[in-house]
Amino acid sequence: MQPLVATTAAELRAITKNASIALTPTMGALHEGHLSLIKQAKKLADINVVSIYVNPLQFGENEDFDSYPRDLSADCDKLRDLADVVFAPQDLYVTPQTVRLALPPLADELCGHFRPGFFQGVATVVCKLFNSISPQTAVFGLKDFQQTHIIRLLTAQLNFNIDIVAAPIVRETDGLAMSSRNIYLHPAERAQAILLPQTLQMAAKQIMEGVPPAQAAAAAAASLTQNNFVVDYVEARDYSTLGAPIGERIILLAAVKLGKTRLIDNIECVLPTAAKTAPNF
């Protein structure tokens, strides 16, 4: 069955009534990465809701808000027999939207350093979606590792009674993490893009073999730069806190630009002593 489309919270509530809801927030242009989250969500509640909203607040002035791919009817086709309802609000903001969330310093690090205001935009829209939809569960991708981490923090610290589920990265067969922005890549850039996961994988192997994480990350950044990527960052952080990599479970995160396209990726490194005991995220 084709999903129903609700464009206001009132319409959505009329459909969902008191049923339990699993929510997967997206900006549309759905691909297999999104669909894997939505499949997981389907098992977690009575009604499977997918939100599709290109959130203006998380785009910088010179970013791709206007050109971001939008095709609601193609997205609804992909959600056939998978989602019950698509929540596609015209707009979620009031004018003027003067209330802002204050986020911890982590929101100004990594991607937040290179995209000022990005996580505040994400956090604001996620709060609006949570309050409009009242899901029991919400599914986010580990592709956006820092984002999922910050959403966990805000859910806990603002007392949302919502289970946050983190789903693994879905990759193309050659290893490139799926992204709605991959369509921006010219063929030569697309071919080159696989060096990002390959370089991260090599650095992760070095870390797991005992090379200091910061050294492996710096070598990966240098190698990517040499291969014509503009590197925003390659950093090794603690998997659970996203602080300095002091634990045995480390996450290696990277953001690069290839031409006009910004790509992010990450890979987990479990140090040998932690391998037997590491819990799942």
**Residue 200 belongs to what H/E stretch?**
helix 195-208
Rounded to whole angstroms, the Cα distance separating 133 from 232 reads 35
Tell me the residue type at 207.
I
> Can you give the binding site for ligand AMP, defined by CB under 6 A?
26-27, 33-34, 37, 140-141, 143-144, 167, 169-170, 177-180
Rounded to whole angstroms, the Cα distance separating 139 from 63 reads 26
The residue annotated as part of the active site, out of 34, 113, 149, 186, is 34
Rounded to whole angstroms, the Cα distance separating 281 from 7 reads 33
Which of 185, 115, 177 lies closest to 150 in space, CA to CA? Answer: 115
Assigned token pair, 167: 């789903």
C-beta of 3 vs 33, nearer to ligand AMP: 33
C-beta of 43 vs 276, nearer to ligand AMP: 43
Residue ranges of alpha helices (H) inside 43-194 are: 72-78, 111-114, 118-133, 145-157, 187-193
C-beta of 180 vs 201, nearer to ligand AMP: 180
Question: Rounded to the nearest whole angstrom, what is the least distance from the CB of residue 200 to ligand AMP in the complex?
Answer: 14
Question: Rounded to the nearest whole angstrom, what is the least distance from the CB of residue 67 to ligand AMP in the complex?
Answer: 15
211 three-class SS: coil
For β-strands 230-238 and 249-258, DSSP reports them as: antiparallel
Tell me the residue type at 173.
T
273 three-class SS: helix
What pairs with residue 264 in β-bridges? 255
Question: Rounded to the nearest whole angstrom, what is the least distance from the CB of residue 34 to ligand AMP in the complex?
Answer: 5
Question: Rounded to the nearest whole angstrom, what is the least distance from the CB of residue 202 to ligand AMP in the complex?
Answer: 20
34 part of the active site: yes
Question: Rounded to the nearest whole angstrom, what is the least distance from the CB of residue 241 to ligand AMP in the complex?
Answer: 19
Q: Write out the catalytic residue numbers.
A: 34
